[in-house]
Structure 1
Amino acid sequence: MPNPSARAWTADAIRIIEADFNRSADTHLLRVPLPATPGIALYLKDESTHPSGSLKHRLARSLFLYGLCNGWIGPQTTVVEASSGSTAVSEAYFARMLGLRFIAVMPRSTAREKVAQIEFYGGTCHFVDSAAEMYAQSARLADELGGHYMDQFTYAERATDWRGNNNIAESIFAQMAHEEHPVPRWIVVGAGTGGTSATLGRFIRYRRLPTELCLADPQASVFHRHLEDRSICTSTEPPSLVEGIGRPRCEPSFVPELIDRFYAVPDVASIAAARVLSRRIGRSCGGSTGTNLWAVMQIVSEMAARGESGSIVTLLCDSGERYRSTILDGDWLCARGIDICEAEKAVESFFETGTLSKAAL
């Protein structure tokens, strides 16, 4: 029989989340100067300004609403999530808002700044040795505790209303409306769950827009391999140093048919691009933003060589402040034998010339 008190709690939980949404402004769309290619305009959707600090704030809100409306989350539910950090930070934010216990299952290598933020919001971190272990451990914990495994990797694409309702795609195109090139030639994104790329790709097709979607993928990830050969669904490469995007397996929320192009990006390139971009725009950027930029630079170089004009939009996924102890720490890089000097020079040269050198590729 339905429980009226649980139903009332769910209604109030949804109201609380919607009230938080109403208090939050949309994230900014920043123009990045490209003086060497005046006909090409680059924009960054700055997702780091969400209350929980990253693009994953949108996903966490959608996943909580999805779980509440499906009856999976109640007043005593322990919420469990598998995450490399940012989704867990955002879900911990919403769990605290609803007075729910939250457990994040994550690799031991996760940046300690993210761990601290999860704990700040009242969440608990359960560490595993590799990303591949997160799924089974999360399901086991949820089962043992009688809780709910949020499972962002399965539900990301279906929890988001891709037709509109202020999703990231609708927001980007609305903010571009008065620009010189209002319909982007390209949108460049990474994929962790695949939910954001699915939302953008579906929205582009739904609105019958000519915009193409490019996947910026860490070299260690399986997604770009799967796009080349659909029979490849896992990767045994050592994990990428870039947190939040790239996966060792093809996630259920990743929709390859929506991707028009992809670039596999080495970690050293992602880190260098994030550092240079941070200096150029005066905002600290995380590694996944660097991955996006490296792909953008290749597209800009090609467009400039063909004499094309147009706009490109990509994402500033989260702040580099979350990675002060890892990819933005020179000693940390040195200890791992990572030298980003040449890659940084290539990125600086791109901003000066509008071309990413073939040697850098």
Structure 2
Amino acid sequence: MNLEKLPLPDCAERDWARRAITILEGDGRRSADTHLLAPVFEGLEGISIYLKDESTHPTGSLKHRLARSLVLYGICNGHIRQGTTLVEASSGSTAVSEAYFARLLRLPFIAVMPRSTSRQKIGEIERFGGRCHFVDSPGEVYAAAERVATETGGHYLDQFTFAERATDWRGNNNIAESIFEQMQAEENPVPEWVVMSAGTGGTSATLGRYIRYRNLPTQLCVADVECSAFYDCYRTGDRDTTCAEPSRIEGIGRPRVEPSFVPSVIDHMIRVPDAASIAAMRVLSDRIFRRVGGSTGTNFFATLSIAARMMAAGQEGSIVTLVCDSGARYTDTYYDDGWLNARGLDIAPWIEPIETFLARGDASVLWP
């Protein structure tokens, strides 16, 4: 039998992929376990609140985990090769983290984002060597990112579609596994609740799936914001729900129901007023001696709501929520009273009731 003597395939691309994955694994080992904070709130008798501080990642936010997973997913599926331009639709934190990984792998990176994105985040993307492509409306980012990827011959990372599948929800040191392992030596090691806001929906999907996979009694509460489609989708089951107004809390809330949002693994949802999110952000920042971002305020306010309901029912136990990013990115926005006033956000009516609840456990001041 005569066999055609074809040359063996060039292994250069596979060699690059192996080197790239080694680099990403190294970053994972260096930054995998973030701190689990346990602040004391005198008024919450019988309730322990824990904060998984994702702001300590090298790129300063929860999105560091997602960005690494998305890049790994792209490489392992053969979509990202040596020299591939990475493109993302992002309001900031995901793009900051992806720009970091693009620089590690020496790949070009373009972030497609609304013009309203904070200058701090834009500056961080550019410092990592990324480029920003601006659109006027948050709803335009999806099509614009696809177009930019096509024009550059690049790869659209698409966090909103792939966030829930790029992360191994069964474990492999994902955020859920990290939380439950760090809780093992605590007085109430299995949380009654984990509370998380939704941006892509990927983290809440990972948490909800892991809880079920490990057969834990923990329940998952997802916090949403005023201008977002997620809460209404959860309440009605309609995945075609949209919201015309853009979210004022950066990184969470979306104008459409993203593909990565999985309502079936969520036990409860709370919609938090934007002013309450920012008030809770400032109160928590004072209590833990570091500034946190607006989405952390949303998480914290929803956590207090769960705590109040547990106390009213005579329940005790632990609740875990997340510090999503540092407040350093929001000095010109959420920490600027003039910026808040210009947008009609009055946080004063929320500050004192939150402080009163934390100090005395009087939930009636917040939830009459």
Shorter chain as denominator, the TM-score bin is over 0.9
Aligned to 1:71: 78
- Give the gaps of 5 or more residues in structure 1: none
Question: Of the candidates 167, 170, 173, which is equivalent to residue 174 of structure 2?
Answer: 167
Q: Which residue of 1 aligns with 2:42?
A: 35
Q: Please list, as runs of the form range in 1=range in 2, the aligned pairs for 1:1-361 lying within 5 A after superposition.
A: 2-24=9-31, 26-231=33-238, 233-357=240-364
Length, aligned pairs only: 361
SS of the equivalent of 2:37 reads strand
The one-letter amino acid of 1:231's match is D
Q: Which contiguous aligned blocks of 4+ residues in structure 1 show a shift greater than 3 angstroms?
A: 355-361
- Residue 308 (structure 1) shift: 0.9
Give, in whole Å, the separation in 1 of the partners of 2:360 and 2:207. Answer: 30
Secondary structure of 1:337's match? coil
Deviations 1:33-69 (A, max 9, x none): 1211221100000000000100000000000100000
* Distance in 2 of aligned mates of 1:7 and 1:358: 61
- The answer to whether the 8 Å contact 2:45/2:361 transfers is no
Amino acid at match of 2:186: E
TM-score by length of 2: 0.96
Superposition RMSD in Å = 1.3
Cα offsets for 1:306-352 (capped at 9, x unmatched): 21100000000000101111111111112223221111112111211
Are the counterparts in 2 of residues 343 and 360 from structure 1 also a CA contact under 8 Å? no
Take 1:186 and 1:336, find their aligned partners in 2: how far apart are those partners? 33
User: CA offsets, 1:222-263, max 9 Å, x none?
Assistant: 111001111253323421210111111111111000110011
2:4 aligned partner: none
Give % identity.
Answer: 62
SS of equivalent residue, structure 1 residue 357: helix
Q: TM-score, normalised by structure 1?
A: 0.97
- Indicate the SS of the match to 2:318: strand
Please say which structure displays the higher CA radius of gyration.
2
Answer yes or no: is the 8 Å Cα contact 1:276–1:347 preserved in 2. Answer: yes
Distance 1:183 1:206, change over 3 A: same
